[in-house]
Each structure stands twice: as C-alpha cells, then as structure tokens.
Structure 1
C-alpha cells in the first residue's frame, strides 16, 4: 500500500469550501492529524498543487464531525485552518462559513436523521465551545441544495441554511472585551479587542490611511499596511490573554468605516495575513457586536440602528453585504448579547476518498 484512502465529503459552506471528514476516520494524535490534513490540502505550496486545497485561505479549511455526547447537541464540529503556503495547521479558531455545511454534511453522513420538510441540526463547535442551531431544507427527508437564496461571494443561488449562534461571547478568551477596555491604544493606533464567535482586533480604516473601500487585492498588495498592523495584532493577542499569536490566525483583524452602499457599516476582514474576499460568518458576528457596543472604535459610524432588539446589522464587505440579526439586552453593565442569526447556503461538490501517502499515515489510529 503506497497511499491511504480517507472517506470524505467535499462541501461548499457559505463562501468557503473544503473536505468534511468523520473524526473517527482520522488519526487521534494531534501531530499526526496535522500531517494528514496538510497532505490532504497540499499545504506548503502557493497553489496547493499536491492536494485539494485551492490556494487561498478560504479553500484550505477542514471540518471534522462526530456524533455528540452532549444532550443538547447532535453533532460535534471540529475545525482546522490549514495554511496555504506554509506547513501549518491552526485549531484555535472556528469557521462559520464551513459551519454552514455541517448540518447538510451530518445528514449526508448519517449522523443526523432527516425529517420531511426541514431538519434542525444542533451543533457543538469543539474549538470554541459555542452551540449553533442549523435549519436545513430536507423535503422528503433528503437534503435540498437548490433554491433561490443568494449570498455575496458565491455565484448563483441555492437552498438556505438558517444558523442561530448561541454562547458566542468570549468564544476564545472568556470575555466580550478581553482587555477590559472598550478601546486600547497600541503603537499609537486605537483598536477595540472584542471576542464574539471569533476574537478580533478592530481599527478604524481612516486611522490607517484607508477609506475602507479598497478591494481585497489592493489591500493584499499594500505590504506597508501589513507591516504596520501585524505587530499591533501580536500585541493585541497578548493583551487579550491569548499568548504569543505570531503563528496563530487569531485574533483576526477588522477595519470599520462609515457605510457607502446602504448598509449599517463598511468593513474589511483579514484572516489575518490577507484580506477575506467576502466576510467570515464568525467575523460578521463580532463586527456586529462591535457596532452595537457604545464606546468602541465603531461608535458613531453605523447607520440605521434602532437601539432595540432584535437588530439587523448589514455589514458591507468586498463582495456585497452580509446580514446579521442580533438579539441583545441593554442593562446597567452594558450590552448583553443573547444570539446572532444568519442565513447562508451550502452545496455538496464531491464525495469519495481522498488519498494521502502511506508514509504520512498508514491508517492506524
């Protein structure tokens, strides 16, 4: 045997895609698991030419599913962000776009039994401890992928997948504002360090000499921007209690500016060493929370806020707008987030076995 075959479903979830595995079909040892996932994706080459990655951070993501032992969840979702050009796997974050296909994948894999019409899949995000409810269209007990729902960054339309996020505050750090401040000043730049679904360091685009309207390609070509922002991100990670984040994709970076296309706020989101071509689902929730929290760097920028819950926050990004419905309470201690809801789409692209060299893994768990 020169190669080891691993069963998988290849899914598009939101504006990302990648392989969805049964966790039981992969090595238990974390170091060996990382070697397998890098071989699957082809990490270490800008094209991912020796794997099924797509040469961008949104196409080198991996979902690993297993039946949940929790009474309040059906399936556990363990996420891995595999690097593109480096040999690196990060298990700290989760991914809301990849999460969009967890419900359909769990049904396709037989982990969740579908009901006629719609199926509710209760998901536990292993990386962050959050719980999510996904509502999947299942007419006749079969996952429906075709529909008329359109999301920015994905061509055409597909069936909607409704996501309701619970337990998202302090996903990685245990606090909404892990530094204890609404605004921190790091190397002369005012930032808000906030943790809702994904820890972010958020700055005003104008404070970095940007308009917020720059394309992802323009921002990625602006190496002076990355040289300026990365040391600040590393210091923010320390202040957020995340330790040395030099080799970690979290905290991510967000930029905010006044809206230009009829939304609530204009944003750019970084992963963190390049600009997201659209918007991460988790990042959208965190940016929405920043917008709704008085005193942050986004204070005074947003348009159309009512101050009452639930509040629809329309986030402008390079490819369009993503909508986040946020339920919250205003109290003496400030904003308390209860849940955030979004609608995404998903599609199964392929299924079968992906091969890795036997020298990487011989199939023994």
Structure 2
C-alpha cells in the first residue's frame, strides 16, 4: 500500500502552483439617470421647462422621448392622470418646453440680428404627441429674463446691472421677432414690482412684449381663405392668421353665453366636439393642412367672442360691461383656457381692426382705453396695444402687451435610458451644428427640408404676402 502523506504533499504542491484566477470585469451599467440642465419659469399665465438645446443629444431623434420623460404624459405610463413624477400637470396649457439658445444667423437676408432663438415645444398630455406648430406668447414673457439670467446675451448687455434692457427674440416656430423689455436688478432679471396679471396671484416686475409684424405666422395671408366671413359647418366664422391662426365664432351663434366659465363649458361636451369639428374644417380651408386627420393640435385655435357684459371671473371678481371692449373664450385641445393665450389676444386685436369680421361685429362702440383693446377672459382682463409703425422698414404692425414672469427653479432635470429609444422617423441633418438647433428641430418635425431651404421659403412666403 502506498503511503498517503507524500500523495497529500504532491496534491498540495500542485494546487499551490495554480495561479489564482482574476475576477472577471463587471459590465458597466448604463447610467440610470442622465442629468440635463433645466429651469422652470412661469411666464404670464403659463409655465414651462426651459432647456438649452446644446445640452440635448446630438441626435435630434431622441429629443421627443426626452421631452416626454421630463414633462410626462398621461397616455405613457400615467394611468392615474396625475403625473406625480413629472413636471407637467396633465393639461395642454401647462405641457410646455422652451428651447433657448444664442441666435444663429442662417441667411444673409437676416438684416435684423436677434439676441436669442426661442423654440416652443408643446406636449399632448394624453397621447404624448410633440408639436412645434405654434408659438407661446405667455412663455415669451420668460425668455428674455431667462436668457439674461443664463448669461446667453452679448457682453454689452451685462454692463447694465440695474435698469431696463431690451432683448430681441426670434421665435423659430413662426420666424417672427419679438422685443422683450424688462428691468434688471443686481445683475439678475427683476422679479418684484407693481404690475399685476389677471390669472396670476400677486404682483411682479413688468415685462413689455412688442411683437413685430404679428401677421401670417402659418400661411401667406392674414385672411387665408380670402374672405372676412366664411361659412364653416353651417356657422359664420372669421379665419385669421395673425400672431397665431384663429377661428373666431360668435357665442350666440352656437347657443352658449359669452361669459361662460371654463368648468361650465367643460360640461357641454357636445359644444366642444362641435367646435373641434369647426376648427379642423377651417384648418383645411385656411391651407394649414390638406386633410382634417393631420390638423395640428395647437393651430388654428378657436375663440368664442361676444359683446361686453357684466359677469363673474373664475376668482369670483365682477367685471362690468363698461370695463371691457369684448369678451373672448379660447379653446385649445378641446380644453377651455382659464385665461387667454397672448398670441390669441394679439390676433383678436388685429381682427378687431378689420371692419366686417366676426370680432368687429361684437366690439363695444367706444374703447375703454383709447388705442387699446381691453379683452375680458375667464380670469379677468388683458390690454393689447396695436400700432402701425411707419418708422420701420418696411412699415409694419406692432402689437404690445405687458405681463410678468418668475424663475421658479434652476437646476437639473433627469431622464432615464428608456428615453434613448429614438423616434427614428426624424433624421438629424449633418450640418445642423451650423444653424439654430431649435430651428433645425422645427424643420425636421414640420417641413423636412434643410435649414437654408426653410429660411428661403419663409422669406419668399412673407414677401409674397406683403406685396
């Protein structure tokens, strides 16, 4: 019998010579949350997340998924409809993103040089659809202050630490210019002040928005059907393309009181369905789209107008008929507005200047304030000033409103890797870095042409309309 001890020694020796195995490297886990520089601002009676597009992925096809994650959508994993882990609130008027960046000159025809480009993105809170068809006038209130606070403006502007400054903004959705004049204090956009906005608690520092040439933002004509009055679905309407395309209809024509409040109108779903049908039919008549199935969510808007009358606002305050020139109720995405879109208010003021429109028919015989249209909306009043500026070359209409804005927070929003599931039907042009990123995004979603071709077409359309 062989001895056992040497065998054990040999075994130990053999085992000892086997080098210890190195642990296999663990696969790197994808970053669960990707940070994104963001700010949250109230602008007028609305609010939005503001992003700088250079912080977003180079592949624009990923942007829509990121926007859906940041804002949330009831139809995308939100069965309770509360959006508890998102920044939106489940309503179309609050599902907004603003992209702000330094202005990029895209064409030698650009004679005016804005300070910043602003792209408005709207999110359908139910289906998650991303829309770039229109501008948001209320959120324009926040763009100048945000650009100033984010140090996106030319150095000479920051030489003014206290006082009023003017920031020129190009809205890439409409290719229109807006001058935003506001106060700065201590090197920041001022917030405190004495100006009040009906629909917003408290007072703030006044911001004046001057919309340059606020006409033809989606078509080639301010009356794209060629008529002051059209018969749409059996109703008399005025279809106007102003700061935003709007279909105006009289309240008495559809059998509702003009002073109806949003919660009351929401209870009349048959009226809202009918108004949506009128809106879509009018969109085709206006040339905004060729098919009712492809009508954008955000344009045209529909507005129900009526004569001034004493009524109660959503806050319980009473407005006398002598305090307003006209009563207006705007509807977007089949949701009655609790206040009024600033772009819609400006289009209302333009339609009021045109004799024979539906708006003109219900105007008070004398203005409450000379040279100003005083509009009653569900939360109170808004004053719109409209001037024809002959000092401009060429002469143009300029519409002005005063409002307020407030920074609510600035920091980081977060999106997860699931947002990298790209919307592959939207390609990103290789040369987009040479252009406004926001303009390129609008182009990709709406026109699918190069930025140069987009700018050329818009200039051609505007010149054709002016001639």
TM-score by length of 1: 0.93
Give the conservation status (yes or no) of the 8 Å contact 1:253–1:272: no
Question: By percentage of residues, which structure has more strand?
Answer: 1
Q: Which moved more, 1:67-76 or 1:7-16?
A: 67-76
Q: Which residue of 2 aligns with 1:147?
A: 193
Once residues 143 and 37 of structure 2 are traced to their aligned partners in structure 1, the CA distance between those partners, rounded to angstroms, is 16
Once the 2 structures are TM-superposed, how far is the Cα of residue 272 of structure 1 from its aligned partner?
3.4
The partner residue of 1:9 within 16, 39, 43 is 39
The partner residue of 2:404 within 345, 356, 359 is 345
Deviations 1:184-206 (A, max 9, x none): 10111111110111001110011
The reply to whether residue 259 of structure 1 matches residue 308 of structure 2 is yes
The partner residue of 1:321 within 350, 368, 381 is 381
TM-score by length of 2: 0.73
Deviations 1:218-247 (A, max 9, x none): 112211012211121111101111114445
Q: Which residue of 2 aligns with 1:228?
A: 274
Q: Please provide the CA RMSD for this pair.
A: 2.2
Once the 2 structures are TM-superposed, how far is the Cα of residue 33 of structure 1 from its aligned partner?
1.2
The partner residue of 1:47 within 62, 67, 82 is 82
Once residues 354 and 82 of structure 2 are traced to their aligned partners in structure 1, the CA distance between those partners, rounded to angstroms, is 40
Give the conservation status (yes or no) of the 8 Å contact 1:57–1:271: yes
Q: Which residue of 1 aligns with 2:353?
A: 292
Give the conservation status (yes or no) of the 8 Å contact 1:79–1:127: yes
Once residues 281 and 82 of structure 1 are traced to their aligned partners in structure 2, the CA distance between those partners, rounded to angstroms, is 19
Once residues 190 and 29 of structure 1 are traced to their aligned partners in structure 2, the CA distance between those partners, rounded to angstroms, is 46
Once the 2 structures are TM-superposed, how far is the Cα of residue 86 of structure 1 from its aligned partner?
1.6
Once residues 210 and 86 of structure 2 are traced to their aligned partners in structure 1, the CA distance between those partners, rounded to angstroms, is 33
Gaps in structure 1 of 5+ consecutive residues: 331-335
Give the conservation status (yes or no) of the 8 Å contact 1:18–1:59: yes
The partner residue of 1:34 within 64, 84, 87 is 64
Q: Which moved more, 1:239-248 or 1:250-259?
A: 239-248
Once residues 235 and 124 of structure 1 are traced to their aligned partners in structure 2, the CA distance between those partners, rounded to angstroms, is 30
Q: Which residue of 1 aligns with 2:184?
A: 138
Gaps in structure 2 of 5+ consecutive residues: 1-30, 106-111, 310-319, 423-432, 434-467
Once the 2 structures are TM-superposed, how far is the Cα of residue 23 of structure 1 from its aligned partner?
1.4
Once residues 329 and 215 of structure 1 are traced to their aligned partners in structure 2, the CA distance between those partners, rounded to angstroms, is 36
Once residues 90 and 179 of structure 2 are traced to their aligned partners in structure 1, the CA distance between those partners, rounded to angstroms, is 31
Q: Which moved more, 1:99-108 or 1:240-249?
A: 240-249
Q: Which moved more, 1:15-24 or 1:26-35?
A: 26-35
Larger Rg: 2
Residues 1-365 of structure 1 correspond to what in structure 2 (within 5 A)?
A: 1-43=31-73, 44=75, 45=78, 46-70=81-105, 71-112=112-153, 113-114=157-158, 115=160, 116-243=162-289, 244=291, 245-260=294-309, 261=320, 262-303=323-364, 305=366, 311-328=371-388, 338-361=397-420
SS at match of 1:235: helix
Give the conservation status (yes or no) of the 8 Å contact 1:250–1:272: no
Q: Which residue of 1 aligns with 2:430?
A: none
Once residues 421 and 128 of structure 2 are traced to their aligned partners in structure 1, the CA distance between those partners, rounded to angstroms, is 20
